């Protein structure tokens, strides 16, 4: 049964994460896997950074409607990207990641005019994620705890393994406690794309989206692509034809 946008917002507010089913079609998944394999050649680390500048196939996901519409409902219309990366975890190579947050502890209670949340990450999974493949692990509601997570990959009461299918997306609050278990599957990879969303009034890192493709899109692309790549400062007007432009991306 499909959920409404309001139900998705309420679930995210409660749990700090949300699974968006079938955010990518099977055809998109197959195409993106090929691209991740291509751009990962020569990398020995788990992460391939700055993928927008490495292949144009990753550009439409900046405003992919199943995710973008939820993000705008959660963060407002003036948002941008903090980073866009890919990961490729080979079979049996492990590579766990301990408990951490993508942003920082928020004040509890927050100041009355605080913009909340500041950041939300989105993981697009290109493979079915099973317990063997090293799933994302989250502690639902921990984004409201006002505390830092423990170090390492110790078990925490209430933790949840997020098991999803290829093409699903998982969005999670910057203050959510999360980790990744190792990929111990003997033959199958774990490949994912990470689109980390940030309020547009926040300052980007100076080396973000510095390649030629990003520069051209930021100056000449459709409005929302320009915004997502950090052209504006958060006080800009949204043009009347922005939604029409979005429909043609």
pLDDT tens-digit profile, the chain (249 residues): 568 999 999 999 999 999 999 999 999 999 999 999 999 999 988 899 999 999 999 999 999 999 999 999 999 999 999 999 999 999 988 789 999 999 877 777 777 777 668 899 999 999 999 999 999 999 999 998 989 999 999 999 999 999 999 999 999 999 999 999 999 999 999 999 999 999 888 877 778 899 999 999 999 999 999 999 999 887 889 999 999 999 888
Q: Which two tokens stand for residue 116?
A: 């909340």
Coil, helix or strand for 15?
A: helix
Q: At what angle do helices 5-15 and 65-75 cross, to 10 degrees?
A: 60
Closest by CA to 199, choosing from 228, 239, 241, 223, is: 228
Question: Is residue 178 a contact partner of residue 138, using CB atoms and an 8 Å limit?
Answer: yes
Closest by CA to 84, choosing from 190, 237, 225, is: 225
pLDDT for 115? 66
pLDDT for 185? 96
Closest by CA to 102, choosing from 158, 149, 37, is: 149
77-113 in b/e burial notation, b at 16+ Cβ within 10 A? Answer: ebbbbbbbbbbbbeeeeebebebebbbeebeeeeeee
Tell me which DSSP letter residue 183 carries: B
Q: For residue 12, with 0-12 CB atoms within 10 Å meaning exposed, 13-18 middle and 19 or more buried, which class applies? A: buried
**127 phi and psi, to 5 degrees?**
-135, 155
pLDDT for 95? 83
The model's pTM: 0.94
């Amino acid at each position: 049964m499909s959920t409404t946008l309001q139900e998705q917002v309420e679930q995210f507010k409660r749990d700090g994460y949300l699974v968006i089913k079938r955010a990518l079609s099977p055809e998109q998944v197959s195409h993106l896997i090929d691209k991740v394999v291509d751009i990962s050649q020569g990398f020995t680390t788990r992460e391939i950074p700055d993928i927008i500048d490495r292949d144009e196939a990753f550009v439409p996901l900046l405003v992919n409607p199943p995710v973008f519409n939820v993000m705008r409902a959660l963060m407002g219309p003036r948002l941008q990207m903090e980073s866009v990366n890919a990961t490729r975890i080979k079979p049996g190579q492990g590579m766990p990641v301990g408990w951490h947050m993508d942003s920082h502890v928020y004040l509890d209670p927050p100041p009355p005019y605080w913009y909340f949340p500041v950041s939300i990450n989105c993981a697009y999974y290109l493979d079915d994620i099973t317990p063997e493949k090293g799933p994302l692990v989250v502690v639902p509601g921990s984004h409201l705890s006002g505390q830092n997570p423990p170090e390492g990959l110790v078990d925490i009461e209430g933790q949840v393994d997020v098991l999803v299918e290829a093409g699903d997306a998982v969005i999670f609050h910057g203050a959510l406690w999360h980790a990744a278990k190792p990929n111990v599957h003997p033959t199958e990879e774990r490949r994912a794309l990470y689109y980390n969303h940030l309020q547009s009034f926040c300052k980007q890192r100076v080396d973000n989206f510095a390649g030629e493709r990003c520069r051209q899109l930021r100056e000449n692309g459709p409005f929302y692509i320009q915004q997502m790549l950090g052209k504006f400062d958060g006080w800009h007007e949204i043009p009347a034809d922005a939604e029409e432009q979005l429909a043609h991306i």
